[in-house]
Structure 1
Amino acid sequence: MRTVNIFYVSVTGLLFFFFAGVDSIGVCYGDVGDNLPPAKDVVGLYLSKKIGAMRIYFPDHRALEALRGTNIGVIVDVANSDISTLATDASAAFGWVYANIVPFSNVAIRYIAVGNEIIPSDVAQFVLPAMHNIQNAINAAGLQNQIKVSTSVSTGVLGVSYPPSAGAFTSDALNFLQPIVGFLSSTGSPLLANIFPYFSYIGNPSQIAIEYALFTSPGPVVTDGQLQYQNLFDAILDAFYSALEKVGAGSVRVVVSESGWPSDGGQSASPERAQTYLQNLIEHVEKGTPKRPGNIEAYIFAMFDEDKKQPQGTENHYGIFHPNKQPKYNLNF
């Protein structure tokens, strides 16, 4: 799942969406939609709005060409369908890196995400071998100090998330994650995690206050030992850190590779709530969590609505720009 949403604001004509000075925030480049602008124009939009980072869900050469020399930080995903081949054939992994990464040495690629939300699954067994093979190829290219290899997981890997200090991985996920986080620890790579308080809220609205989900609670809602939580985002992120600590990987950083709130298509999905969530997320990431103060690197989903995604629902309503590159929402920093 990917995310980002904000609300339709009409303010006498022009809408403004500024990312200036917010190095911790990126935006995912969702492109499963009609009438979207060419990659060169999209990268120009990132630059004009001072959006400092991008996630692409496959090695899109058009986007990578347009990113040359821009200093926009990039997460490049390995498509889920390619992972088994890259895991079982080291030469295929070298070919992937030398075709999709090495030619773009003047692109600020930060991470390679080996799969998106496939732990646990039938393909999960291939994630770590593919990570090793890609890492070896990155090392051979001399890019190991520039690019970190990881994988992106959903909050579904957490069997326990409340209170945050009790955070723990499910046994099914842990079978795959235990060696993966060992790899991340040894290479200094972060774990990529897609965190959506929206789904936690709609799954339990009688127990979770909307204010807690939207960063608008006037005071602490959850007390966990000496730590107090005023928003659900922090609680979920710290549950990930607690889960990592329990498996001896407390030094592994978590990068929030997707987050947002839908503006339509489902329960509690509205432009106003999406606007509120995104605005508050942007303001919050520089503060960190109760357990881990400091900057949070987070990626909002996504630049454009993706009307071709199936099944139809909230996934179609995360765009922050119209296809004509006009902003849909007003976010202030």
Structure 2
Amino acid sequence: MSNLVKAMVNIHTALNQLGLAQYIQVSTPSSLAVLAVSYPPSAGIFRQELAGIMPEFLQFLASTKAPFWINAYPYFAYKDDPSGVALDYVLFNPNSGMVDPYTKLHYDNMLYAQVDAALFAIARMGFRGLEVRVSETGWPSRGDSNEFGATLENAAIYNKNLLRRQLGNEGTPMRPNMRLEVYLFALFNENLKPGPTSERNYGLFQPDESMTYNVGLTALSAASTSSASISLTSSATQEAKVGYQSLVYWMFVYLLAIELLVRRPF
């Protein structure tokens, strides 16, 4: 951990020497566990044991204009406390939400609250201009008996609702005019992955390429004149379709890179 920022500086220096630094940003994803407090969002603060590295890390991101990436999974909050966390709130379904008692900002879903908690934690360290992006989020379609909420229905609802909000270019209550960039985990189920059943069932597709569930994407038939086209099952506009294609493309690129290069932090 102590060498993380040094490694990032070296990579950025190499990119700069190649004339690529303006095109490629250097950052690293963090688990939501880097926060000691995430509720309410305005109370967001980093864990004390990270006090030695976090200022240096954030300073690097600020100086290179790179984003802070966070892995945020509302599913885990619901799994750990299904009686205390409203399912509709974590699934982006219509609900009364919550109001931060200090900022008076209203949140109708947990993901945005988690992102804003990270923003507040960053601001507490003096870095108010950093952008926070979600490097991973998702919902398992299967789980063990003690993994509450890990169902096919909930996974489909979560991801469908999330993609609709991405198409709407939504920001969080703290930054409503800045689109929140989100990457979905995962494209395929990891059937050989150890651990709880849920860990093998985040994918939109099975290892044999069959669909786990439909999140609103339908591939056009082979007879289509545009082999790269992807359409929404809803009556979306052409502009939304283009945005959706871009989202799916970058989701695939990101997930492929994750599978090949890094293990997901918890």
Q: TM-score, with normalisation over the residues of structure 1? A: 0.61
Higher strand share: 1
Name stretches of at least 5 consecutive residues in structure 1 with no aligned partner.
Answer: 1-123
Residue 154 in structure 1 maps to residue 42 in structure 2: no
Amino acid in structure 1 at the alignment position of 2:107: Y
Determine the structure 2 residue equivalent to 1:129: 6
Aligned partners of 1:217, 1:158: CA distance in 2, in Å?
27
Shift of 1:309: 1.1
Which of 154, 174, 184 in structure 2 is aligned with 1:300? 184
Output the amino acid matched with 1:213. V
| Counterpart-to-counterpart distance in 2, 1:312 and 1:237 | 26
- Offset of 1:217 from its aligned partner? 3.5
Higher relative contact order (CA 8 A, sep 6+): 1
Residue number in structure 1 paired with 2:133: 255
Is the Cα contact below 8 Å between 2:190 and 2:207 reproduced in 1?
no
Distance across 1 between alignment mates of 2:126 and 2:116: 15
- Residues 85-127 of structure 1, C-alpha deviation per residue, up to 9 Å, x if partnerless? xxxxxxxxxxxxxxxxxxxxxxxxxxxxxxxxxxxxxxx1121
How big is the alpha-carbon RMSD for the aligned residues of Structure 1 and Structure 2? 1.4
1:321 corresponds in structure 2 to 205
- In structure 2, the partner of 1:190 is 67
Distance 2:12 2:108 in 1: 39
Seen in structure 2, the aligned counterparts of structure 1 residues 187 and 284 have a Cα distance that, compared at 3 Å, is same
- Corresponding residue of 2:170: 287
Tell me what 2:150 maps to: 269
Instruction: Work out the number of aligned pairs and report it.
Output: 210
The structure 2 residue matched to 1:230, chosen from 108, 122, 147, is 108
Query: Residue 219 in 1 paired to residue 96 in 2?
Result: yes
- How far residue 312 of structure 1 moved from its aligned partner, in angstroms, is 4.2
Shift of 1:166: 1.0
Unaligned runs of 5+ in 2: 217-231, 233-266
Tell me the TM-score normalised to structure 2 length: 0.75
2:36 maps to a residue whose letter is G
State the SS of the aligned residue for 1:205: coil
Identity percentage over the alignment? 40
State the alpha-carbon separation in 2 of the partners of residues 189 and 241 from structure 1: 14
Q: Which residue of 2 is the match for residue 164 of structure 1?
A: 41
Classify the secondary structure of the residue corresponding to 2:84. Answer: coil
**CA–CA distance in structure 2, aligned partners of residues 311 and 223 of structure 1:** 35
Find the aligned partners of 1:248 and 1:166 in 2 and give their Cα distance.
Answer: 15
